[in-house]
Amino acid sequence: MMIMAMAFVTVLFMNAQPVSPILSDRTDWHKIGETTVNFETDRDEITVIGADKFAAIKFKVKDVPIHLMDMEVYFDKGGKEDINVNFPLKPRGESRVIEFENGEQDLKKVVFVYKTLPNRNDHQAEVEIWGLKTNDD
């Protein structure tokens, strides 16, 4: 019984998406976070911590296509931006650059809605979110 409980907890931690703080403020693209999306849900959320001030974001996928539909970007000072993306991402592809209405801002989290596209092996898609720091204060 104890072994089964430990195995269950291990599986929970293996499926959890780690939150990594952004440590650099240099002007460039920085990986904000990543997640593995599946066929069961159609919405995911990435929390942004650390040096979290960005002017734009983009999405990248690794080996499996998805159709990115919408996203909500929440800011540290309150408020959010609703963005209709409606863009298919091919394997090893990336979305267009999505600039924020009010320029560079401190991000709290990014919520995105997608459809996983059919693929030969029913693999899960690995999605990365990248943020652009411009340091235009």
Residue 14: predicted pLDDT: 34
How far is 118 from 83, CA to CA, in rounded Å? 24
Distance CA 65, CA 116 (A): 7
Number of independent structural domains in the chain? 1
pLDDT of residue 42: 87
Please give the helix or strand (H or E) that residue 7 lies within, else none.
helix 2-15
Is 40 within a domain? yes
Give the integer Cα–Cα distance in Å for 88 and 68: 6
Alpha carbons 37 and 44: distance in angstroms, whole number = 7
Inside any domain, residue 6: no
**Digit-coded pLDDT (tens) for 16-53:** 354 555 667 788 899 999 998 876 668 999 999 887 89
| 2 in a structural domain | no
Give domain status of residue 129, yes or no: yes
Q: Burial, 94: exposed, middle or buried (Cβ in 10 Å; 0-12, 13-18, 19+)?
A: middle
pTM of the model: 0.78
- From the list 136, 128, 124, 127, the residue with the least C-alpha distance to 100 is 136
User: Which structural domain range is residue 30 located in?
Assistant: 26-133
pLDDT for res 115: 85
CATH number (domain holding residue 61):
2.60.120.260
Q: In this structure, how many other beta carbons lie within 10 angstroms of the beta carbon of residue 70?
A: 14
pLDDT tens per residue across span 60-101: 998 888 899 999 999 999 999 999 999 999 989 999 999 999
14, part of any domain: no
* Residue 87: inside a domain: yes
Looking up tokens 């993306």 gives 85
CA distance 27 to 77: 22
Give pLDDT, residue 13. Answer: 31
What's the pLDDT score for residue 2? 37
